[in-house]
Structure 1
């Protein structure tokens, strides 16, 4: 009897041990397309702002305190992403034949500050109005006030949007411009956050892998975040222009609840691109303007970076031959979702 009982207890302990191991095992790497066997393992979701729920569920309720009352529930938002993205892709204008087209993907990733929404939505207005036919814009955005207007800025939507654009573009002729705006970390990662949704973070190697998996020959990648110069090594390559708001070990400036647009967003998007259609000349103008602002404010210089891959300058020049820039496009921030709180900060 004792022998049987001992064997039974040992079997039960073994089952519990195996369940514990399975529960704590790391998730497998996501399979990749093409010849690669795996792609980068996604970074952890943004840290939660609340603790786990107590017996009365009060902490769970706290997690959605900032969720807009008239918006769909978080689960409904997640469930609706596929349809929202497909509708956004379907609204893109037809490709203009016989010339390079410009396809802009604006990615405003931090839902906690309106400044990133303002930049993404201004890009959606600026590029088609300023550069006319042959310019197409898709916005991915995290913001409490636009959950029903734009698909989320998430890793999954970024990949799906790029796949959708690849289907409508001529990848060997058209130019893809990806404009990412959010907070950046010293580890060269981008904050992707729409609390309380558990969104994956995007690091420099992740973004490089995402773009390398796809067929775009000509790319302009703009990373507007602190420490964004750390994205240059993984994005560098033929046919690619990389612009960053700061060098790898420096902050950039202009975010915060009382700011309408970042330093780099104002200098490159609003000021320089309303003077010239040349993205590289606009960058040079923007970098000089930012340096003046930082000197005036006694800030450590951010030192924006530019990396020009082989061939991209000529392709951009060919694109410019077919456009007649329109008048300057005024910047107007979206209605604020939060009251001003403190001075402008690094981002």
Structure 2
């Protein structure tokens, strides 16, 4: 492992999971996890924590986590392009899975990127272009942000599974600076995925947990979504 101020990379089974045997029939996952909005620490925490949970549940290869801070960072559109290409280059393009996690503030235009003074917007069309250029057939894209459902029409296909914290018309919640997770990130990665046998089960569990929390706190529903991925589910074999 190689840690720096805003980057973690690992070339093979990361996060000290060597004691866990490979699952028979599992396809390798390459993971790219980005915390895009540097002014609040929750996105750094979520990007890092989500990658750790995925590595603990699936057979993983290359993992790259990047996040921004108030001083700057390389979790930008350019940085994401490089990371996707780098991780994809170490995968079998037909048989492995590129697993992408993005966490930030969102709007109907896309995802906010804030690295020091740099501000960008990652649009659905730009992300679709980045993913297509990786050359990897099967992908999972999980987006934890308000209005993140705007990405589904551009990304979701039978070969691309997309999970979003909200639909295209609603915010999601939990972006407090000192928090470790957003509401959706906590429900999906920190709780449901740790014990679920599949991403479908994890999503169903997380959606129920999020709705229960929103009702308790009198928030309007965020309506998390899952779309596409008919050809992806069978490739994702979780560790027991």
Please say if 1:103 is aligned against 2:30: yes
TM-score under structure 1 length normalisation: 0.61
After the TM superposition, list the runs of 4 or more consecutive aligned residues in structure 1 that deviate by more than 4 angstroms.
94-99
2:123 equivalent to 1:123: no
| Equivalent position SS for 1:256 | coil
* Contact 1:141/1:152 (8 A) holds in 2: yes
Does the 8 A contact of 1:186 with 1:227 survive in 2?
A: yes
Match in the other structure for 1:195: 116
2:17 paired residue number: none
Residues 54-84 of structure 1 deviation map (CA, whole Å, 9 limit, x = unaligned): xxxxxxxxxxxxxxxxxxxxxxx9xxxxxx9
Distance 1:250 1:213 in 2: 30
Q: Distance in 1 between matches of 2:133 and 2:190?
A: 32
- What are the residue-to-residue correspondences of 1:163-312 with 2, within 5 Å? 163-187=85-109, 189-196=110-117, 198-312=118-232
Identify unmatched segments of 5+ residues in structure 1: 1-76, 78-83, 326-347
List gaps (5 residues or longer) in structure 2. 15-21
**Do the aligned residues in 1 keep the contact of 2:11 with 2:61 (CA within 8 Å)?**
no
**Secondary structure of the structure 1 residue equivalent to 2:208:** helix
Q: Secondary structure at the match of 1:273?
A: helix
- Comparing both structures, which one devotes a greater share of its residues to strand? 2
CA RMSD of aligned residues (A): 2.4
CA contact 1:227–1:246 (8 Å) conserved in 2: yes
Alpha-carbon shift at residue 158 of structure 1 (Å): 0.8
Give 1:136 shift: 3.7
Aligned partners of 2:229, 2:13: CA distance in 1, in Å? 28
Following TM superposition, by how much is the alpha carbon of 1:167 offset from its aligned partner in structure 2, in angstroms?
1.5
User: In 2, distance between residues paired with 1:277 and 1:107?
Assistant: 25
**Aligned twin of 1:140:** 66
Q: Aligned pair in 2 of structure 1 residues 315, 125: CA closer, same or farther (>3 Å)?
A: closer
Aligned-partner SS, 1:100: coil
> Aligned to 1:153, what secondary structure does the other structure show?
coil
Task: Give the distance between the partners of 2:75 and 2:197, measured in 1 at CA.
Answer: 26
- Report whether the alignment pairs 1:93 with 2:12: yes
Looking at structure 2, the residues matched to 258 and 205 of structure 1 have their Cα atoms a distance apart, in angstroms, of 32
For 2:46 and 2:60, locate their aligned partners in 1 and report how far apart those are by CA, in whole Å: 21
1:345 maps to none
Separation (CA, whole Å) in 2 of partners of 1:268 and 1:111: 22
Following superposition, the deviation at residue 127 of structure 1 comes to 2.2
Matched-pair contact (CA < 8 Å) for 2:31–2:60: no
User: What are the Cα deviations for residues 99-136 of structure 1, in whole angstroms up to 9, with x where unaligned?
Assistant: 510111101000010110111111232222343x5344
Distance change (3 Å), C-alpha of 1:312 and 1:124 = closer
User: Which has the higher Rg, Structure 1 or Structure 2?
Assistant: 1
- Higher helix fraction (1 or 2): 1
- For residue 143 of structure 1, report the CA deviation from its aligned partner: 2.1
TM-score, with length taken from structure 2: 0.86
Higher RCO (CA 8 Å, separation ≥ 6 residues): 2
Deviation at 1:94, TM superposition (A): 7.0
- Is the contact between residue 41 and residue 178 of structure 2 (CA under 8 Å) also seen in structure 1? no
CA distance in 2, matches of 1:255, 1:297: 15
- 2:19 match: none
- Aligned counterparts of 1:107 and 1:100: Cα–Cα separation in 2: 22
1:195 is displaced (CA, Å) by 1.7
